[in-house]
Structure 1
Amino acid sequence: MKLKCLIALFTVVSTLVAHQTAAQNEHDEIARKLPGYTSEKQFSLIDSIVLPFQTFHTQGLTKVGGYYFLTAVDVKRWPEKYPSPVDGFDRDTGDGVGRVFKFDESGKLVAQVTIGEKSIYHPGGIDFDGKYIWIPVCEYRPHGNSIVYRMDPLTMKVEKMWDVRDALGAVVCVGNEEVIGMNWDAEHFYKWSRKDDTRHGWELISKESNHMLTFKIQDAKYVGDTLMLCSGLNRWKHGEQSFALGGIQLMRTDSYQTLYQLPLTIKTPRGASICNNPFFPEMKNGKLRLSFAPDDDHTVVYIYEGR
């Protein structure tokens, strides 16, 4: 019995170490490869994964080993705007359930968990630090309260880390030493650093304004060497006409300086911008792949590869 337990423990540890090493190698390669892409025409759709389960309002996407993890908001009642602000808020919290789905590369649902508590039910953009997937969950309104969680991708066990008095829409893990949180529309960046003498082992060390708002960041990933790759979109309205533009941008995690931007005008057959929420970059055979899951409820993961 002891031998079986030791073998099982060794298998789990080996799997996590392999994930960490592979993730670091991919991070470095993504950062080196990006500047070579100057047009969306350099990317071609190479695969589509149809998800045969209801996905609700999709939010964040990452991949660990051969499994994808997708966060989503199961809205029971959409937030309603107030006639005039109430306690600094322009709307109520609505009602819903936060969900995290785990599925394989064929789209088969492997597991799912709920996440959040009470009015805090809106999970956002996620990132993997080599051991845990970090997930922000907020009230469904600007400036609402949030909780930062981390989840073991093998067991799907969710652990509450800390509360935030702002609506976090995405997080990025700078290795396993720092966590960056972006609030609603990514107007501000929060940064937490590991500190063992605090209750949850982390402390807030900075809050800074985002001076590059071309794209309102929806999902983002750390790609090594103090760099993060973000995906988002922005909408403009003039009279009865409206225009939405999505894109990806490479930013520094220390100064939040934008080093690279690539607009993406690609839309799904249902008319959604490809950059509407979930996004995951990876390297395959020396080529950059970008996965998106922008459509709600009946979602397709669209995989684009750079030439």
Structure 2
Amino acid sequence: MIRTALFPLLLAFAPLSIAAAPETLDDGFEQAQLVGTLQLQGELFHVQGVEMRGDRIWVTSVDNRQHRGFLHEFDRAGHFLRRLELTDGARYHPGGLSVAGGSIWVPVAEMRPDSSAVLVEIDAQSLEVRRRIRVADHLGCVAASGRHLVAANWDSRQFYVLDLADKEPLRIVPNPSPTRFQDMKFVGDRLVAGGYVSWVSGAVEWLDWPTLRVRRTLRAGAVGPVRPFGRGGPLTGEGMAVNGRDLYVLPEDGPSRLFHFRLDETA
């Protein structure tokens, strides 16, 4: 693969007053331009995932101090609307989320590898829980599309593929990429996933469905899981959403800003 240098991004956030967040962020995505940011109002903890549909933004976060997990809902102006607690006993770590067919899917897991998780289906309008699917492993993110769910375990070593219309057991597939995905979505006939590669680098990747072959990789700077609180410029973050050429990342714990990037045509 031809290595394309990351271009620096420099942005001064004069209208924002976030004491804990830096005023400039220097790391960016290759083949993308920073369009702007949106301040999310309201309490957030350690951000895990973000998803956007219509006039709504949903964010998952974990309160590690109190061992509690939440789904937060905002409008597209960043105003807090409501939240749902997802804590399920020892399972309090909500991961990267996905929306499909009027449902929000969130994995809620124990905070350790090789443990257990529940895939929770939530009604996007009422935020009522529709069903829970138990899995004997830690799951850190899930993508939903029609009848299919694809979830990744701790460090995304494996994908769990579930056909909701089939009684067959979960299919387990090795992750073909070294990237440790934190949030992923179905976008058309591709699976788009973002995560960290090393202590100082991350990536967003496009994988074919259902073969799960990696078709494109966009490199970026350091990522949330490998920096305290995800601060200091890690623009891939743990929360990622994609809409066409628009890429959104939520790399900061509360108070959080949603960063909007526009991908180049070739991306």
Which of the five TM-score ranges fits, normalised by the shorter chain?
Answer: 0.7 to 0.9
The answer on 1:71 being equivalent to 2:64 is: no
CA deviation string 1:234-291 (max 9, x = no partner): 22xxxxxxx42011001123222111111012789941411121000113xxxx1111
Hey, what's the Cα distance between the residues in 1 that align with 2:201 and 2:55?
31
Q: How does 1:197-216 map to 2 (within 5 A)?
A: 203-213=168-178, 215-216=179-180
Hey, what's the Cα distance between the residues in 2 that align with 1:267 and 1:148?
25
Q: Which runs of 5+ in 1 are unaligned?
A: 1-36, 77-94, 197-201, 236-242
Which amino acid counterpart does residue 160 of structure 2 have in structure 1? Y
Hey, what's the Cα distance between the residues in 1 that align with 2:107 and 2:67?
15
- Paired position in structure 1 for 2:156: 186
- Paired position in structure 1 for 2:113: 142
- Paired position in structure 2 for 1:234: 197
CA deviation string 1:70-89 (max 9, x = no partner): 0010112xxxxxxxxxxxxx
The answer on 1:248 being equivalent to 2:204 is: yes
Which aligned segments of 4 or more residues in structure 1 are displaced greater than 4 angstroms? 266-269
Q: Which runs of 5+ in 2 are unaligned?
A: 7-28, 225-229
Which amino acid counterpart does residue 184 of structure 2 have in structure 1? A
The answer on 1:124 being equivalent to 2:98 is: no
| TM-score between both structures, scaled by the size of structure 2 | 0.81
Hey, what's the Cα distance between the residues in 1 that align with 2:5 and 2:51?
24
Match 1:52 to one of 41, 61, 78: 41
**Contact persistence 2:196–2:223 (CA under 8 A):** no
**Contact persistence 1:191–1:204 (CA under 8 A):** no
| TM-score between both structures, scaled by the size of structure 1 | 0.71
The answer on 1:110 being equivalent to 2:73 is: no
**Contact persistence 1:194–1:203 (CA under 8 A):** no
Match 2:183 to one of 219, 225, 234: 219
Secondary structure at 1:204 match in 2? coil
Hey, what's the Cα distance between the residues in 2 that align with 1:203 and 1:167?
20
Secondary structure at 2:169 match in 1? strand
Hey, what's the Cα distance between the residues in 2 that align with 1:267 and 1:246?
6
- Paired position in structure 2 for 1:195: 165
| RMSD (CA atoms) | 2.2
Secondary structure at 2:64 match in 1? strand
CA deviation string 1:69-125 (max 9, x = no partner): 00010112xxxxxxxxxxxxxxxxxx5111011101211001111013111010001
Hey, what's the Cα distance between the residues in 2 that align with 1:290 and 1:266?
17
Residues 49 and 158 of structure 1: is their aligned pair in 2 closer, same or farther, counting only changes over 3 Å?
same
Match 1:291 to one of 238, 248, 254: 248
Count of matched residue positions in the alignment of Structure 1 and Structure 2: 234
Percent of aligned pairs sharing the same letter: 24
Match 1:260 to one of 193, 207, 216: 216
**Contact persistence 2:158–2:173 (CA under 8 A):** yes
**Contact persistence 1:58–1:73 (CA under 8 A):** yes
Deviation at 1:42, TM superposition (A): 3.5
Which amino acid counterpart does residue 194 of structure 1 have in structure 2? L
**Contact persistence 1:64–1:153 (CA under 8 A):** no
